[in-house]
Amino acid sequence: MLHILQHSPFQTDLESLLRCVKPGDDLLLLQDAVIAALSGTKALDLLLAAPISIYALHEDIEARGLVAQISTGIVKVSYTDFVGLTVKHEQQITW
């Protein structure tokens, strides 16, 4: 399943989201959710401990001036990659 997070980790219950993921799921961070990919944060620690792959939309990272602060454990993707993730996963949920 593809989980798409759009809201800041400060406005999201990440622990609830992570209880719903299963091994092999993917999580895509969009819009203000890319803040969860900042190095050294509790949100990032929670995400990296989950048995999932985590992606963040590069354009949203750039728009917020966060390119240099994003963890190397997060895969930066383009809109084309975003489409590829939606094709890969028949089921999707937006948080």
Each residue's pLDDT expressed in tens, for the chain with a length of 95 residues? 999 999 999 999 999 999 999 999 999 999 999 999 999 999 999 999 999 999 999 999 999 999 999 999 999 999 999 999 999 999 999 99
H or E segment to which residue 4 belongs: strand 2-5
The dihedral of CA 52, 58, 60, 62: what is its sign?
positive
Q: Which residues are registered as beta bridge partners of 5?
A: 29
Domain count, the chain: 1
Question: What is the pTM for the complete model shown?
Answer: 0.93
Rounded to a whole number of angstroms, the distance between the first and last alpha carbons of the chain is 13
The CATH number for 9's domain is 3.40.1260.10
* Residue 73 main-chain phi, psi, to 5 deg: -80, -5
Tokens of 30: 């969009």
Domain membership of residue 69 as a residue range? 2-94
